[in-house]
A and B are shown apart, each in its own frame.
Chain A
Amino acid sequence: MSGLSLWLRYARASLAGQVRYPGAFALQMAGHFATTLLAFAGIWILFRRFGSLHGWTVGQVALFYGLVNIEFAIAEMAGRGFEIFGDAFLRTGEFDRILLRPRWTVLQVLGHQFRLRPLARLAQGAAILALGLAATPVRPALFTAPMLAWAVGGGVAFFLGVLIGQAALSFRTLESLEIVNVLTYGGVEAGQYPFDLYAGWFRVLMTWIAPLGAVTYYPVLAILDHPGVPPPAIAPLAPGLGYLFLGAMLLYWQSAVRRHASSGS
């Protein structure tokens, strides 16, 4: 059985556990949906008051908002095992159990939990992205659709990379590091606005080191055909940085696992 189908088996097993109490589950989803919706309502009210922000219309900001929330929601659904790795695997010795099984550690941790809760964020992100696309002139669907898919893939890779890096760090601290939430939850907040609002150093950092901008801001520039830096001809390549970031974090993970085997628990 291939890695992907095994992961699907894990996901099915995890889902079976989560919907055991459907009432509680539905309430939880509704609450989650309401909280994230409030955030966008805040942005919308801001625009009602000022009309536009730095030349951006509310429809354009909806694209940023929708895209980053879709990306993070998908990463959160799959990457929960890495998010809670320190507490759920290292402190409990659960990680030994992973090592005792003849499969890649990353696959097994991904399979630990498939979370449905972020579906609320996903649905809402998709709705707002659709609204934004309807309200804003963008390049033809033949370009925009594949561009969005490529960007979402890059964004999921970026956020998964952050969660995997966080887990790899926790081999040193034995705790899940809250500080990394700056990049996950903070990243979602930052990615909801156009990047040219931010200071130059921050943009460089969040494009080349932790390439959040490369999976949110630049792909939206590309579908808007918006003049800016980089030129719209290069902007479509930007999400590739998200995949590279994931690759780098996986290498870091592998080395952390090797070091863990030498140091013992």
Chain B
Amino acid sequence: MPIPPARIVVEDLHKTYRIATRAATSPRPWPFARRAWRTIEALRGVSFVIEPGTITGLIGPNGAGKSTAIKILSGILRPSAGHVSVGGLVPWADRIRHVGRIGVVFGQRSQLWWDLPVEGGFALLRDIYRVPPDRYRARRDRLVDTLGLRDILDQPVRQLSLGQRMRAELAAALLHAPPLLILDEPTIGLDAPSKLAVRAFVQELNRTEGTTVLLTTHDMHDIEALAGRVIVIGHGRVLADSPFETLRATTLSGRRLTAEFDGPAPPLLLPDGVTPLSQGGQVLELGFDPARIAAADLIRALASAADMHGVVLSDVSITRPSIEEVISRFYERHGAAG
């Protein structure tokens, strides 16, 4: 029987940790020393709704509360206050039923058994998740084919490269066909082809099976490639919740123009909406706001300035700010830089 799609509702989530700090000045020996407690507010009122079949990125600087949120959604941590429902279940209250319906991949931690061959780990997971044998075989064969695991099935997990292991982890998390897949930094440490393979697979899974995906990452290219929507968390709060393009437009809408000349760059009276970024020899870098000056007008101005000084504008390139720049600008603006 197919498991119902998982709609995630998170309402006013709070999580406060109490951390014991042993009082260094206590006159009493350790077991009798009065403990000093420090409270850390990891989450202070986080709310969002995720619709089934979507891919959502959860991002934020280190220590922002992402991991806490992921742990609560996975059912392994209980919040201090607030409400969560995943497909109608409260994760921490109904842990066993809840975790039977989700797949989780931690980029930094293996879900597989180090000493077992990949296939042996899969078989153990089949029994843990009570997947019926015929459904298991069909499912495993499909995952093995799409993720290209055929050649490593009989290798112990410890012998796999990180890229191979991550593909095996993805398959392991999906053997029981969960409607929700939680990925916590799934591309960390991977080389470029492995990253692309992971992204393509997740995209394909979402498209063909309608799997809901929740993803945390520090690699903004993951977000750009996968997530239609980003939730930015900082200081335990939701700082932004929008399509990534909206975030880009409201944070760093400017363009960067690099002009090359066949001689020394000519002096230029800068039109409105243009800021000099750097100038050196034959290359000139400008920032401009396309809402205030059209690229064509700026290039025309550059070309005529070159003409007047007897040089030729030989090359022009216009780039958008990199996604990393957008995000770090956003963190800075909210004082959320890690």
Contact = CB atoms under 8 A, between A and B. Distances in A.
Contacts of A139: none
Given A1-B130, A6-B128, A263-B18, A102 B76 contact: no
A118 B271 CA distance: 84
A264 B124 CA distance: 28
B17 A264 contact: yes
Interface in B107-138: 109, 111, 113, 115-116, 120, 124, 127-130
B329 interface: no
Contacts of B334: none
Interface string A8-41: 0110010011000000000000000000000000
Contact of B92 (A93, A100, A261): A261
Given A261-B76, A262-B78, A9 B124 contact: yes
Contacts of A102: 96-97, 99-100, 128-130
Minimum-distance CB pairs A-B, first 8: A102-B100, A99-B76, A17-B115, A261-B78, A262-B78, A1-B127, A102-B96, A102-B99
30 contacts: A1-B127, A1-B130, A13-B113, A13-B120, A13-B124, A16-B115, A16-B120, A17-B115, A17-B116, A93-B109, A96-B71, A97-B111, A99-B75, A99-B95, A99-B99, A100-B75, A100-B76, A100-B99, A100-B104, A101-B128, A101-B129, A102-B97, A103-B128, A261-B76, A261-B78, A261-B92, A262-B78, A263-B18, A264-B68, A264-B71
Nearest to B110: A97
Contacts of B130: 1, 102
Contacts of A261: 76-78, 92
Interface of A: 1, 5-6, 9-10, 13, 16-17, 93, 96-97, 99-104, 261-264
A9 to B, nearest CB: 5
A229 B109 CA distance: 55
A10 B124 contact: yes
A158 to B, nearest CB: 27
Contacts of A17: 115-116
Nearest to A98: B76
A211 B97 CA distance: 36
B239 to A, nearest CB: 23
A97 B109 contact: yes
A100 B71 CA distance: 10
A180 B120 CA distance: 35
Nearest to A258: B78
Contacts of A5: 127
A16 B71 contact: no
A17 B75 CA distance: 31
Contact of B127 (A9, A96, A262): A9
Contacts of B95: 99
B189 to A, nearest CB: 17
Interface in B55-100: 68, 71, 74-78, 92, 95-97, 99-100
B7 interface: no
Contact of B109 (A9, A10, A96, A263): A96
A6 B127 contact: yes
A187 B46 CA distance: 51
A19 to B, nearest CB: 12
A29 B319 CA distance: 68
B59 to A, nearest CB: 21
B74 A100 contact: yes
A10 B127 CA distance: 10
